[in-house]
Each structure stands twice: as structure tokens, then as C-alpha cells.
A and B are shown apart, each in its own frame.
Chain A
Amino acid sequence: MKRIACYAALTAVSLFPCLPALAQDYSGRTLVVGTWGGDIERLLREHVAGPLETKTGAKVEFLLGGSGDRMSKMVAERNNPTMDVTFQNIYEAPAALKEGLVVAPDAALVPTAANVWAGMNDGCYAMSLVGLGIAYSKALFPEAPEWADLWKAEFKGKMAYAPYPSSEGDGMLAVAARIAGVNEHDPDAAFAKLAELGAPVLSYSSLDEVFTLMDAGEIAAAPMISGYVLSNLGNYEGIGFVFPKDPGPVLVRDMVCQVANSPEPELAQMFIDLALSVETQTAYAKELNFGPTNSKVELTEEEAGRVINTPEEVASLLQLDWSYVIEQRSDWTDRWNKQILGQ
């Protein structure tokens, strides 16, 4: 009996070193993630990079910049990519897939992707849901405005826009088209309608600048994406934010992509898996007001009220034909420069 116990003990001890090896050791390897700076980087470091580094021994490095810079990087580095994971916009992800710059979403490689609401993993994995709504000056709008209210004569020339091309700009064009009775497939009508709002007070490079002016009533309203605006409302008493109803807010989705032929595909998949996990997505919702794409996330009623987190809500949002919009990018940029900014 003692001998069997001895042998059993020896076998157990000799098997022990194998167990950590099953958790895969990536020490010495580096995963490169391209993302926006600020709170998103902070959350990703805390909830994704940190645990990943502990689990695998690899190091996670972040590349900061705008999504356009990352698209440029992916194309320029096509032969020798340095980025493994990149965060892109709703319209960039399908284009990137079409060009073969990213790996198609695959729940076999990234298990949590199966929990994402159906149809959202378009081009890349869907990371967050946000909506384009109206940030407005409470001084000028005692009640939260609808899109159509922005076209009232007293607000002409008092809008602010993000630099174009951007999802804010395209979203606003789609809204203008709908107000004019058509949709984004009729750019002439869309631009003409948007031009009625007058030249903007500014195309903002810095959020502080818009908000300071909006707080003081120098800017009436701006089409803005919900997440950060909601987080910032506490700092400015004179600013409100609303998801209009008719038409609804424009759906915008942040996507997370695995770059094709990148140095660390397995680590990339693990990263994305963690990014889509309930824990990370809940943090995004609570701290940044970015709606989770993971269907298993549970939020309090108050939190759910601020974010977009169910397919029903998504259905009520205005969804653009992004592949059409992307094709028009060069032409619409010209039109925006001349007809909207150049007034």
C-alpha cells in the first residue's frame, strides 16, 4: 500500500512541472495594440493588458493615435506588420477586411466573440456600441432638442462639427438626408440640407474648446458620440446630451481587429478575447458609458439607461449603409470642405 502511495506521489510530483506549461509561456514576447489614448487606454491596460501579462508573461505595448493613423499604418506596413491588435471605426473594419489587412472574426479563435450580439462582428469584432446624439447648450435649448429643432433659424451658424471625414460627420449627413425626406444615397440633398445649418462655429480639435464655448452658449449644439460626452457632462453645468427620437441616434460601433500576418496572432486573439469579456465590457459601460456588445453583460437600470446595450435599442438606431458611404469618402470630403465649411 505504501509503495502504491509512493509511486502515486512520485507520479504526481513529476507531472507538476507540466501544468504551468499548459498555461503557455509567452515571456519575452510583446503584443502591440493600437488604440485611442486617454481613458480607453487606461481601461484596456487595467482590464485586458494587465491580466494578459500576468497570465502569459508577455508584455503588452500600446500605440496611440487616431484610427486613420492606424489604417495608414496597416496599409503602409502590409508586408511587415508591427501591430497585432487595432481598434478601428465601424466603417474602417469592413474595408480593412476587404483589403486583407485583418483576420476575419472567428469564434473558434476568440471564444467570447460568440457572446457578441448577432450580426455585429462585421469585418472585425464589435467592441462597443455608442450613438451619435446631440450635445447642446442648456441656455439655448431649455428642452432637449430633436434633430429637426437644430434647423430653426435662430441656431443658424451656431453648430460645431468634428473634423471631416469622421463618423460624426457622416452620421450628421445621414440625419440631414432623413430630415429632407431621403437617405444618405442622395448626397446632393443631404449636403444641401446640412448646409442650411450654416457654417459651423468651429471644427474642433479639442473637446475642451467645444465644451467651454457650448457651456457659455456660444455654440448651440454639436452632433457628438455618446460615450465621452456623457462622462464629461458632470464637468460642465450648462451642457446637456440627448439621444433624439426622430430619427433616432446614429449607430456607431468601435471595432477591435486582429491584424493579418502580425507577429503574435495567438496573443492577439487572447487580448481580443479579454477585451470582449464581461468584465472589460462592464467596466467600459460603467466608467465610459460605452455600450457593451457582449450579450452576457448585466447592468443596473441606471447604467443601462445611459448606454446602448440591447438589440432592441440597436434596432431603434439609425444605421447607415457604411460601405456606400466609404466609397464616397473622397467626393464627400470635397463637398464637406466646400459646401459646409466654406460657406
Chain B
Amino acid sequence: MKQTPDIKPTATALLVAPAAILMFGVFVLPFLFLVVLSFWSQVPGSVGIVPGFTLANYARIIGDGYYLGGLWTTLWLSGLVTLLCLVLALPLARWIVLYAKRSKGLLIGLCILPLVCGALLPTLGLVNLLSPLGFINGALKSMGLIKTSLPLLGNIAGVSIGLVQAFLPLMILPLISTIERIPHDYEKAAMSLGATRLVVWRRVLLPLMLPGIVAGSLLVFCASLTAFVTPQILGQGKVVTFASLAYQQAAMVLDWPFASALGMVMLLFLALAGLLGALVSRGLGRRT
């Protein structure tokens, strides 16, 4: 159902134009260069590039389990981080909206605090905490819960913890504004009609919070996909993400064509996933 617009098309175009021009000039143009570059090749061992169409880069990515594995790790790590952010942000957002009228600013500030001194410093602090010699393992050992240190670094666990801490604000802020718009009474009304808590959540709250959930999830997912510094440090080189592969190929091996191809492959997957998501939501929209 196409809704009627509230402002005229020319006004719309004028409002949208500056951002569009900027993104086109600064992002799309280099991007197009990268697309072309992905079909070229590097002179082995040199920084020279050989223009000339070849599918070798793509063949190498698709044919090699290593790169596909890296793509898979990146996708499911990002999905995991998004889910964890959602699970943790919901209670926080609910509390802030429902019960923390006066300390709202302080609480939101506390959520953002991990990022204000730079993503690097809290990550190093986290390394210290999660280290086999660190506080967490030490505490668990002294409580007698474990004998040998839990490996919390150099694997998905450590990386996801770091990314959740970094991206929680991205989930909390949209959730807060969405939850605020849900009238209080809906919940009470539903419960007074006899719905259990679970039903209230499933049938009333979650659907109403969906715009905020979608906005937050999209941001957290995409930010996790391209995060580099935090996964590199917490993953200790053992968690292979597409961002770290791209950095290795682009800035260390200096094989720019191949690095571009890596970027394109990820983009392709995202485009397919986005398309799938759009089809699914349209299908769902038609049913409800």
C-alpha cells in the first residue's frame, strides 16, 4: 500500500541530494574502482598491478575453503554479537524507560562509556580480564569452579564479548526510543485480559518494539562485520574474519586486487541476505 507523501517530490529530492552526492562521490566512486580492481591481478611479490580481466581472484576465494570459512566465521560471529546485544540491551532499555526517569542520562552515559576513550583501551583492559592469568580465570579458580584456565581469548568467545561491549550502545539507543513510544497501558491491558507474561512479550511488546530492534540489529550486525581492531586483538590472530583477511591482503601482502575481491564477495553475500530478508518480510507482511 503506497502511502501519500507529506512533502512534495522536489522538496524530497533537495533534502536527499546533499547526502546522496557526498556518498556517491566519496564512497561509490572508490567502490567502483574496487570493483574493477577485483578483476585485475597483482604482479607476484611486487606492488605492481596488471590490468586485464581475470576471474582468478574470485576463483581463489570460492575454491578455497579457507576464505569461505572466514566468510562463514564473520557472518555467524556478527549474528551472534547481534543476538547477544539484543538480549542484553532489552533489560537495560526497559529499565531506563520504565524506572529510571531521573538517572536516564547517567545510565545512557554509562552504556557509552566503553567507547569514549577509544575502542582500543577497553579492548586491552578486556584482554587483561580474560587472559588465562587474568581476573576472571583467577576468580573462578579461587572459587574452585575450574582447575585450568578457560580459554576466553583467541576464540569466538573473547571476540564476541569485546564486540558486544563495543556495540551495545548501537542497540540500546534505538531500543530506548522505540520502547518509549509504547504506551504503558498496553502491557497492563494485556495482562488484565489474562495474558501471561510470555504472551504479552510475544504478541504485544516484541511486535511493537520491532522497528527499534531492526534498526539496532542492522547497525550492530554491519558494524561487527567490518570491525577490525577489536577482533584482531581479542582473536589473537586465531579467529579469521573477513576484515582481518582484507587487511592482511591489502596492507601487508599489498595484493589489492585480491583484497578488493574479498570485499566484493562479502558484499554479494550481504546483498543476497538482504534480498532474502526483504522477500521474507514482504511475505510475512502479506500474511498478517
Where the two chains meet, the residues of A that have a C-beta atom closer than 8 Å to any C-beta of B are: 66, 68-69, 71-72, 75, 95, 98-99, 101, 161, 163-166, 199-206, 208-209, 212-213, 216, 218, 323, 326-331, 333-334, 337-338, 341-342
The residue in B124, B240, B248 that gathers the most chain A C-beta atoms within 10 A of its C-beta is B248
Other-chain residue from B42, B131, B248, B251 in contact with A72 (beta carbon distance below 8 A): B251
Q: Which 9 A-B pairs have the closest CB atoms?
A: A203-B237, A327-B45, A202-B236, A326-B45, A68-B252, A68-B251, A205-B233, A75-B47, A165-B252
Q: Which residues of B contact A338 (CB under 8 A)?
A: 66
Q: Which residues of B contact A99 (CB under 8 A)?
A: 46-48
Please report the C-alpha to C-alpha distance between residue A201 and residue B252 in the assembled complex, in whole angstroms. Answer: 22
Tell whether B154 is near chain A: CB-to-CB under 8 Å: yes
Tell whether B250 is near chain A: CB-to-CB under 8 Å: yes
B233/A330 in contact, CB under 8 A: no
Q: Which residues of A contact B236 (CB under 8 A)?
A: 201-205, 209
Minimum Cβ distance to chain B for residue A160 (Å): 9
A72/B127 in contact, CB under 8 A: no
The residue in A101, A218, A326, A329 that gathers the most chain B C-beta atoms within 10 A of its C-beta is A329
Please report the C-alpha to C-alpha distance between residue A212 and residue B237 in the assembled complex, in whole angstroms. Answer: 17
Other-chain residue from A200, A203, A204, A330 in contact with B253 (beta carbon distance below 8 A): A330
B side interface size, CB within 8 A: 29
Minimum Cβ distance to chain B for residue A36 (Å): 14
Other-chain residue from B132, B232, B253 in contact with A213 (beta carbon distance below 8 A): B132
Given known pairs A99-B46, A202-B154, the reply for A72 and B250 (CB within 8 Å) is: yes
The residue in A161, A164, A205, A337 that gathers the most chain B C-beta atoms within 10 A of its C-beta is A205
Tell whether B133 is near chain A: CB-to-CB under 8 Å: yes
B66/A330 in contact, CB under 8 A: no
Please report the C-alpha to C-alpha distance between residue A202 and residue B248 in the assembled complex, in whole angstroms. Answer: 16
B253/A98 in contact, CB under 8 A: no
Please report the C-alpha to C-alpha distance between residue A95 and residue B249 in the assembled complex, in whole angstroms. Answer: 17
Other-chain residue from B48, B124, B237 in contact with A341 (beta carbon distance below 8 A): B237
Please report the C-alpha to C-alpha distance between residue A342 and residue B64 in the assembled complex, in whole angstroms. Answer: 14
A163/B237 in contact, CB under 8 A: yes
Tell whether B238 is near chain A: CB-to-CB under 8 Å: yes
Other-chain residue from A98, A164, A205, A208 in contact with B232 (beta carbon distance below 8 A): A205
Minimum Cβ distance to chain A for residue B258 (Å): 8
Please report the C-alpha to C-alpha distance between residue A251 and residue B253 in the assembled complex, in whole angstroms. Answer: 21
Minimum Cβ distance to chain B for residue A184 (Å): 13
Q: Which residues of A contact B127 (CB under 8 A)?
A: 206, 209
A-B contact pairs, 18 of them (CB 8 A): A68-B252, A95-B46, A99-B48, A163-B232, A201-B154, A201-B236, A202-B153, A202-B236, A203-B238, A212-B133, A323-B45, A329-B45, A329-B253, A330-B255, A330-B258, A333-B249, A337-B66, A341-B238
Given known pairs A99-B47, A202-B236, the reply for A75 and B133 (CB within 8 Å) is: no
Minimum Cβ distance to chain A for residue B90 (Å): 33
- Chain B 136-158 near chain A by CB (<8 Å), digits 1 or 0: 00000000000000000110000
Q: Which residues of A contact B240 (CB under 8 A)?
A: 337
A334/B237 in contact, CB under 8 A: no
B133/A68 in contact, CB under 8 A: no
B133/A218 in contact, CB under 8 A: yes
Please report the C-alpha to C-alpha distance between residue A334 and residue B248 in the assembled complex, in whole angstroms. Answer: 10
Tell whether B18 is near chain A: CB-to-CB under 8 Å: no
Which chain B residues numbered 234 to 256 have a C-beta less than 8 Å away from chain A?
Answer: 236-238, 240, 248-255
Which chain B residues numbered 55 to 93 have a C-beta less than 8 Å away from chain A?
Answer: 66
Where the two chains meet, the residues of B that have a C-beta atom closer than 8 Å to any C-beta of A are: 42, 44-48, 66, 124, 127, 131-133, 153-154, 232-233, 236-238, 240, 248-255, 258
Minimum Cβ distance to chain B for residue A199 (Å): 8
A72/B254 in contact, CB under 8 A: yes
A333/B45 in contact, CB under 8 A: no
B238/A98 in contact, CB under 8 A: no
A202/B237 in contact, CB under 8 A: yes
Q: Which chain B residue has the least Cβ–Cβ distance from A200?
A: B237
Q: Which chain B residue has the least Cβ–Cβ distance from A325?
A: B45
Please report the C-alpha to C-alpha distance between residue A166 and residue B154 in the assembled complex, in whole angstroms. Answer: 20
Please report the C-alpha to C-alpha distance between residue A342 and residue B237 in the assembled complex, in whole angstroms. Answer: 10
B44/A69 in contact, CB under 8 A: no
B238/A333 in contact, CB under 8 A: no
Q: Which residues of B contact A208 (CB under 8 A)?
A: 124
Q: Which residues of B contact A209 (CB under 8 A)?
A: 127, 131, 236
Please report the C-alpha to C-alpha distance between residue A119 and residue B46 in the assembled complex, in whole angstroms. Answer: 22
Q: Which residues of B contact A66 (CB under 8 A)?
A: 251
Please report the C-alpha to C-alpha distance between residue A69 and residue B247 in the assembled complex, in whole angstroms. Answer: 10
Q: Which chain A residue has the least Cβ–Cβ distance from B60?
A: A334
Please report the C-alpha to C-alpha distance between residue A68 and residue B46 in the assembled complex, in whole angstroms. Answer: 13
Minimum Cβ distance to chain B for residue A15 (Å): 51
Q: Which residues of B contact A69 (CB under 8 A)?
A: 251
Q: Which chain B residue has the least Cβ–Cβ distance from A210?
A: B236
Q: Which residues of A contact B66 (CB under 8 A)?
A: 334, 337-338, 342
Please report the C-alpha to C-alpha distance between residue A202 and residue B232 in the assembled complex, in whole angstroms. Answer: 11
Please report the C-alpha to C-alpha distance between residue A136 and residue B19 in the assembled complex, in whole angstroms. Answer: 55
Given known pairs A75-B254, A99-B46, A327-B45, the reply for A333 and B248 (CB within 8 Å) is: yes
Q: Which chain A residue has the least Cβ–Cβ distance from B250?
A: A72
Q: Which chain A residue has the least Cβ–Cβ distance from B42?
A: A330
Minimum Cβ distance to chain B for residue A338 (Å): 6
Please report the C-alpha to C-alpha distance between residue A205 and residue B251 in the assembled complex, in whole angstroms. Answer: 15
Please report the C-alpha to C-alpha distance between residue A334 and residue B66 in the assembled complex, in whole angstroms. Answer: 9
Q: Which residues of B contact A165 (CB under 8 A)?
A: 248, 252-253
Please report the C-alpha to C-alpha distance between residue A99 and residue B42 in the assembled complex, in whole angstroms. Answer: 13
Minimum Cβ distance to chain A for residue B153 (Å): 7
Given known pairs A71-B254, A216-B133, the reply for A328 and B47 (CB within 8 Å) is: no
